[in-house]
């Protein structure tokens, strides 16, 4: 995914205006973030096995509707918005996995594919059981280490690279890499250490 081409301040202003009911701001916001969100959705769906029913554009539109439903969504800044987008995509994929009835825990999960050393977006082929298992473990990680869970959501569910994740959360790439390694070890223990 290409680095964002919009200014953080412009995005924050549009988010605030759209929450206050400005339909023109909502339209400009959609235009501003569409390509970036579509790249996130494509990265996520590239991980799915053949025969998937959910497509990247549908994931993007569902996530955006979830984010902006009824104008209730309040986003403080770019970081908050993209974290919410990653969370929305995660929940949509989990719901899709449940709909496909692939709930056998651990079905083919290979958490060591969460490559700690890669600076590229985290991607690997997965089935619904993997999505569900990761979602359950990520909820526990969120409770214990929210900063690590945020990195996992942005890298794994949003498909951001380490550099893009660092930009979104406002830390160094090295900090992202360290958090990614710690999260990977934590998740490996929960998913693969049984």
| Domain annotation covers residue 161 | yes
Q: How large is the angle between the packed helices 173-192 and 162-169, nearest 10 degrees? A: 110
Asked whether the beta carbons of 8 and 77 are under 8 A apart, the reply is yes
Chain centroid, CA 18 distance in Å:
22
| Domain annotation covers residue 114 | yes
**H helices then E strands: how many in the chain?**
8, 0
User: Considering the entire predicted model, what is its pTM?
Assistant: 0.62
Asked whether the beta carbons of 105 and 133 are under 8 A apart, the reply is yes
Residue 145 has pLDDT above 90, yes or no: yes
Rounded to the nearest integer, the mean pLDDT of the chain is 75
Number of domains the chain contains = 1
Distances (CA, A) of 170 to 4, 6, 41, 76, 115: 14, 16, 22, 14, 22
| Domain annotation covers residue 144 | yes
pLDDT in tens, 53-109: 678 888 888 888 887 764 456 777 778 888 888 888 888 888 877 776 543 444 444
Place 173 in a pLDDT band, splitting at 50, 70 and 90. Answer: very high
| Domain annotation covers residue 68 | yes
pLDDT of residue 179: 95
pLDDT of residue 125: 45
Reported as half-sphere exposure (CB side, CA atoms, 13 A), residue 110 has a value of 7
Token couple for 154: 């942005």
| Domain annotation covers residue 1 | no
| Domain annotation covers residue 2 | no
**Full residue range of the structural domain in which residue 165 is found:** 8-192
Helix (H, G, I), strand (E, B) or coil at 4: coil
Residue 186 has pLDDT above 80, yes or no: yes
| Domain annotation covers residue 3 | no
| Domain annotation covers residue 95 | yes
Token couple for 103: 């709930």
């Amino acid at each position: 995914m290409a680095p964002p081409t919009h200014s953080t301040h412009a995005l924050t202003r549009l988010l605030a205006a759209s929450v206050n009911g400005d339909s023109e701001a909502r339209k400009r916001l959609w235009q501003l973030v569409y390509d970036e969100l579509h790249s996130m959705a494509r990265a996520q769906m590239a991980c799915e096995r053949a025969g998937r029913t959910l497509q990247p554009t549908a994931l993007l539109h569902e996530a955006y509707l979830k984010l902006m439903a009824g104008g209730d969504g309040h986003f403080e800044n770019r970081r908050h918005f993209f974290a919410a987008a990653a969370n929305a995509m995660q929940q949509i994929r989990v719901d899709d996995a449940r709909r496909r009835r692939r709930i056998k825990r651990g079905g083919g999960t290979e958490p060591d594919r969460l490559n700690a050393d890669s600076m590229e977006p985290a991607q690997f082929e997965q089935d619904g059981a993997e999505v569900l298992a990761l979602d359950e473990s990520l909820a526990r990680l969120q409770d214990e280490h929210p900063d690590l869970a945020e990195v996992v959501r942005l890298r794994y569910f949003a498909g951001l690279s380490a550099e893009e994740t660092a930009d979104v959360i406002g830390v160094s790439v090295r900090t992202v890499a360290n958090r990614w390694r710690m999260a990977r070890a934590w998740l490996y223990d929960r998913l693969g250490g049984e």
